[in-house]
């Protein structure tokens, strides 16, 4: 008894008349028509997980990282393919997610990419100039050499309008193989020291940076 209130007053009559949209009905102090709590978080996605809730082939998905967390339903903001790793956002705020995912409004996304050879300056120029693959024009906003070893190197590639497997397709067109591909930042939000497979909620300032 006393769990239900209408417009702030406790109601014990189960047949008490109410009008949807006019009366504020609460149970245990929680409005029945209240919007769900918005959740915004970042995950350091490991390689080997697919970015989907359920996979028809039975492969492990990114949702394994949230087992036991008691989170409401959240959806990935964009994707990282199975072989890629790094920063992946999740939310149950569709407008916020759409803003980030839309190539017209979304922030730049920065990737660190290990390639199977030492690239020459012409490769970096070609990545920025762009290619056409399967009818799509693909280009990097910027491409720089981070460091080089004896047989492979790391590049930093920034995209301002990511397409499906864009970096892999651009490098394949130059006969370059990808050894690792890691997203390290989205706009001003950096992956930082977040451990592989770990996640954390975004701060209010981090959420508002994408508004």
Q: Which residue is listed with tokens 């209130």?
A: 5
* Total number of domains constituting the chain: 3
Tens digit of each residue's pLDDT (9 = 90 or more) over 162-172: 788 999 999 99
Tens digit of each residue's pLDDT (9 = 90 or more) over 29-48: 666 555 678 999 999 999 99
Residue 54 and residue 76 in one domain: yes
Residue 103: pLDDT band with limits 50, 70, 90: confident
> Is residue 177 within 8 Å of 112, Cβ to Cβ?
no
Q: What would the mean pLDDT of 97-125 be, rounded to a whole number?
A: 93
pLDDT attached to residue 167: 96
Q: Cα(180)–Cα(177) distance, rounded to whole angstroms? A: 9
Residue 195 has pLDDT above 60, yes or no: yes
- 81 catalytically annotated: yes
Tens digit of each residue's pLDDT (9 = 90 or more) over 1-23: 556 676 767 766 555 565 655 66
Cβ within 8 Å of residue 67, ≥6 positions away: none
CATH number at residue 44: 3.30.70.580
Give the three-class secondary structure for 172.
helix
Q: Cα(79)–Cα(108) distance, rounded to whole angstroms? A: 14
Residue 24 has pLDDT above 70, yes or no: no
Q: What is the mean pLDDT of the chain?
A: 89
Select which of 55, 81, 108, 133 is catalytic: 81
Q: What is the pTM of this model?
A: 0.82
> Is residue 111 within 8 Å of 80, Cβ to Cβ?
no
Residue 98 and residue 196 in one domain: yes
Residue 123 has pLDDT above 80, yes or no: yes
Domain that holds residue 171: 108-186
Residue 52 and residue 22 in one domain: no
């Amino acid at each position: 008894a006393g769990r239900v209130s209408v417009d702030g007053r406790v109601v014990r009559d189960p047949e008490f008349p109410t009008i949807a949209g006019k009366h504020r009905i609460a149970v245990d102090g929680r409005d029945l028509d209240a919007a769900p709590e918005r959740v915004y978080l970042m995950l350091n996605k490991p390689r080997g997980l697919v970015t989907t809730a359920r996979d028809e082939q039975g492969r492990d998905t990114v949702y394994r990282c949230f087992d036991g967390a008691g989170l409401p339903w959240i959806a990935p903001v964009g994707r990282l393919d199975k072989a890629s790793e790094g920063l992946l956002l999740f939310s149950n705020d569709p407008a916020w997610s759409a803003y980030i995912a839309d190539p017209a409004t979304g922030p730049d996304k920065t990737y660190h990419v290990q390639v199977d050879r030492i690239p020459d300056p012409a490769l970096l120029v070609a990545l920025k100039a762009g290619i056409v693959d399967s009818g799509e024009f693909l280009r990097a906003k910027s491409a720089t050499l981070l460091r080089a070893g004896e047989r492979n190197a790391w590049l930093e590639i920034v995209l301002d309008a990511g397409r499906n497997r864009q970096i892999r397709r651009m490098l394949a067109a130059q006969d370059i193989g990808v050894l690792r591909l890691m997203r390290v930042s989205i706009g001003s939000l950096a992956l930082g020291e977040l451990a592989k497979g770990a996640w954390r909620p975004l701060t209010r300032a981090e959420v508002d940076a994408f508004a």
